[in-house]
Amino acid sequence: MSECIFCRIAAGDLPARLLRDEPDLVAIADLHPQAPTHVLVLPRAHWTSLDAVPPQETPALGRLLAVCRDLARELELGDGYRVVVNTGPAGGQTVDHLHLHLLGGRPMAWPPG
């Protein structure tokens, strides 16, 4: 069994609140939400970070982003929202499986911490 928690969630081996369950990706509620809406969109493929996505898989990145947009509409984040991809240790990444954070439901400060 994979030791990657997001691979295990995508496989149904770990519980999560699923907002999308698609052949190529899943969307889940973040366990420690940083905003009233905090969703993670993750590919089923185990790519350790944005930096590790093979060049031939670049179209998958557009698909992940489009799903964030669609979820933002469904979740009625019409006032605005933020999509974040923490990448690498200095980028604040703590789970080494590519994921996009969709955050909304409150005003977002700039610059981020």
> Taking CB under 6 A as the rule, which mask of x and - marks residues 8-47 in contact with ligand AMP?
--------x-----------x-xxx-------x-------
Whole-number Å distance between alpha carbons of 50 and 60: 11
From 32, 38, 99, 101, active-site residue: 99
Is 99 one of the annotated active-site residues of the chain?
Answer: yes
Whole-number Å distance between alpha carbons of 58 and 15: 29
15: preceding bond cis by omega (within 30 degrees): no
Which positions touch ligand AMP (CB under 6 A)?
5, 16, 28, 30-32, 40, 86, 92-95
Which residues form the catalytic set? 99
